[in-house]
Structures are given as structure tokens and as C-alpha cells.
């Protein structure tokens, strides 16, 4: 079957959410604006997540998975999804479902004119501490990258395949996806999307890795920006 859109779903110890993920994503496949498939990336889960993923993929024809032998982190899971995807467009959503798969259609409305379209969480349903730390982290990142993005941590994005394949990912770079598209002379857009409280499972990010980690990653981004190679082939024979 010819798919147009691959939705990457990183999973790390999310057994309590996966049946809900299956239900909502299966529903999205019936209403999506592009012919879509799902790619779970099991990031070395230590609970029953992998067994549940295998069961889901047996039940659902458009669901597939890859599994790491050990936990590598969110950036690695997204990078693996980029590596394995073959469709013209790639999406990303977290398995905690604090964003709504249906909102992919809002992003896909614009993807023909942009290389990356990212959600920005409207009326966030997180704690005051989490909201403030994210706001500070986004401000620090913007001061380094000038990417103009208000919410790069939003786990709802759509990106064109050829641009995704050229992103040289490192740990923490998932926060810099818009900046990396701008380095490729691509265009980015942010679109308001819905946000919900987490109702199952445990958050994987806390104050330290939401503030200190992103601050240190900014220096890695600056090094990469200085060394980044970007070229377009004009002719070949």
C-alpha cells in the first residue's frame, strides 16, 4: 500500500497508554488528510510496552515498529523514525497523548508550503512549574537560534522527508528541529494545537533535563551551525 505520511511514536515505558494510543491513531487513519501509517519506536522500554506494541501491530495493518536494545532517549528515537520512514511526509507525536492526533490535519494543511510545521500548545494543561520551566527553556533556545518558535517542545510536528533525512541528530536536538530546518534554508511554521493533561504513565522530563540540558544543548547547536554543510546540486550528468 502506498502511504504518504508516517507518524512516528516514540515509546518508553508507556504500557498504561498504548491501548489508548492504538484507538486514537487507528481512528486518525480513517479521517487523516493523507494516507497514513504508524511507526512505533520502542526506546528500550523496561515494562510491557514492547509486547503490547507487537500485539497492536498484529491487529493493525498500518502499524509497524522498531525496537532499540536499550534506552537511547527521545532524540535517538526520532532519528530512528526519520531513518526508517520512506513516505514524503513524517509526523511525530508522543505516546502520552497530551496532543491530539486529529490535529495533524491542521499541520498538514500547510506542509506543501513549508518544510516543517510544528504545533504550539494552546492553553497548556501542565503544572505551573512545568509550564514555567518550558517557557524559560524556550526563551534560552530562541536567544541562541533566532528560530522564532514559541514551543519547540510541542510533541506534534510534520516535516518533509528529504529535510528530515538531512538533520544530523544528536542527543537533545529534538528541541532544535525548526532551527535545523532553517539551516537548510527551509521554511517553518507554528500552528496552535490542543493540549491535554497526562492521564496515565509518568513524565520522562523534569526540571533538570528541561532547563539545564537544553541550555547545554544550545552550545552543541552553535557548534553544529558553524560546521554545518548545506548544498544543493545544480546539475549532474
Residue 172 confidence (pLDDT): 77
Give residue 145's domain range. 5-227
Q: Quick check: is 217 in a domain?
A: yes
Q: Quick check: is 236 in a domain?
A: no
We report the CATH number of the domain holding residue 134 as 3.90.550.10
pTM of the model: 0.83
Q: Quick check: is 233 in a domain?
A: no
Q: Quick check: is 121 in a domain?
A: yes
Residue 49 confidence (pLDDT): 97
Residue 170 confidence (pLDDT): 77
Q: Quick check: is 232 in a domain?
A: no
Please state, in angstroms and as integers, the Cα–Cα distance from residue 51 to each residue in 17, 69, 95, following that order. 13, 14, 15
Cell numbers found for residue 89: 511526509
Pair 60, 38: CB distance under 8 Å: yes
Pair 83, 76: CB distance under 8 Å: no
Q: Quick check: is 23 in a domain?
A: yes
Residue 145 confidence (pLDDT): 66
pLDDT values of the chain reduced to their tens digit, one per residue, 237 residues: 699 999 999 999 999 999 999 999 999 999 999 999 999 999 999 999 999 999 999 999 999 999 999 999 999 999 999 999 999 999 999 999 999 999 999 999 999 999 999 999 877 655 555 655 666 666 666 666 667 777 878 889 999 999 999 988 777 788 888 888 998 999 999 999 998 877 775 665 555 556 677 777 777 777 777 777 777 788 888
Pair 173, 101: CB distance under 8 Å: no
DSSP 8-state code for residue 86: -
Q: Quick check: is 106 in a domain?
A: yes
Residue 209 confidence (pLDDT): 57
Q: Quick check: is 237 in a domain?
A: no
Q: How many domains does the chain have?
A: 1
CA distance 153 to 39: 20
Taking residue 202's Cβ as centre, other Cβ atoms within 10 Å add up to 10
Amino acid at each position: 500500500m502506498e502511504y504518504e505520511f508516517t507518524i512516528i511514536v516514540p515509546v518508553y515505558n508507556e504500557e498504561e497508554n498504548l491501548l489508548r494510543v492504538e484507538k486514537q491513531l487507528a481512528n486518525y487513519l480513517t479521517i487523516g488528510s493523507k494516507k497514513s501509517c504508524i511507526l512505533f519506536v520502542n526506546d528500550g522500554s523496561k515494562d510491557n510496552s514492547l509486547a503490547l506494541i507487537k500485539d497492536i501491530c498484529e491487529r493493525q495493518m498500518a502499524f509497524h515498529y522498531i525496537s532499540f536494545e536499550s534506552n537511547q532517549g527521545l532524540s535517538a528515537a526520532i532519528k530512528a523514525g526519520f531513518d526508517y520512514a520512506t513516505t514524503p511526509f513524517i509526523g511525530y507525536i508522543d505516546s502520552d497523548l497530551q496532543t491530539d492526533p486529529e490535529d495533524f490535519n491542521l499541520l498538514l494543511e500547510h506542509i506543501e508550503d513549508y518544510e516543517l510545521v510544528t504545533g504550539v500548545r494552546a492553553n497548556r494543561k501542565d503544572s505551573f512549574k512545568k509550564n514555567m520551566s518550558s517557557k524559560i527553556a524556550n526563551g534560552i533556545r530562541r536567544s541562541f537560534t533566532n528560530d522564532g518558535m514559541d514551543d519547540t517542545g510541542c510533541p506534534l510536528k510534520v516535516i518533509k522527508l528529504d529535510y528530515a533525512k538531512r538533520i544530523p541528530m544528536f542527543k537533545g536536538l529534538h528541541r532544535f528541529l525548526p532551527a535545523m530546518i532553517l539551516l537548510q534554508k527551509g521554511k517553518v511554521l507554528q500552528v496552535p494545537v490542543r493540549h491535554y493533561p497526562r492521564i496515565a504513565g509518568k513524565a520522562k522530563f523534569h526540571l533538570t533535563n528541561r532547563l539545564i540540558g537544553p541550555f547545554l544543548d544550545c552550545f552543541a547547536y552553535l557548534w553544529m551551525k558553524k560546521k554545518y554543510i548545506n548544498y544543493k546540486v545544480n546539475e549532474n550528468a
